[in-house]
Amino acid sequence: MLILISGCSGSGKNTVINHLLTRNKNLNYLKSCTSREKEERDSGNSQYIHLSKEDFEEKIKNNEFFEYEEIHGNYYGLLNQSIERIISGDNFIKDIGVLGQKNITNRLKNKIKIVSIFLDVPKQELINRLKLRGEKNIDKRMERFEFESAHRPNYNLIIQNNDLEKTIQIIENLLNKNDN
């Protein structure tokens, strides 16, 4: 199974994923590439393969990406070789933009089980969360709010992420159903 998690900046995607990975040893994180600068939260076991913008664009030219998207001036993409790991039958989780979710779902829906989840949070709560985490450019992050929110109907499940434990429990229930 592949679980795709999307939501606006500040919706809690990485927090939810990190908790799920800690609590579920049968769940693996599917790394993607990014051209963005490494941040403090990327230290340690990064969820990204960091590439320069030039290297990323070279891989695009060489058709090495299964899908990619430009978000906030940076590229994010999933390499073709990563898809082989998904099809192997293990459980994977991935945070992904709304266009990436649509691309992966359309291209893999007949090959593997995909559950796509949109983490929804009211706009003002997102702004508060971004302020709390010290986000420097909240306006830039919020520019995509309407665009991303408009894609909610493309998801199997929309979770109001105002209770972390409840959100994790919903997703763990999906995992347990798949394992049985």
Give dist(CA 156, CA 7) in Å, integer: 13
Closest CA to 96 of 110, 82, 87, 84: 82
- Is 3.40.50.300 the CATH classification of the domain at 2-179? yes
The DSSP output letter for 16 is: H
Closest CA to 149 of 127, 123, 171: 123
Sequential pLDDT tens for the chain (180 residues): 899 999 988 899 989 999 999 999 989 999 889 998 876 554 445 778 999 999 999 999 999 999 898 888 899 999 988 887 787 778 899 999 899 899 899 989 898 999 999 999 988 888 888 888 888 888 888 888 889 999 999 999 999 999 999 999 999 998 888 765
Question: Domain residues of the chain, as ranges?
Answer: 2-179
Q: pTM of the entire structure?
A: 0.84
Which 3 state secondary structure label does DSSP give 68? strand
Helices 13-23 and 164-179, axial angle in degrees (round to 10): 50
Give dist(CA 162, CA 56) in Å, integer: 35
Q: Check residue 5 and give its pLDDT.
A: 97
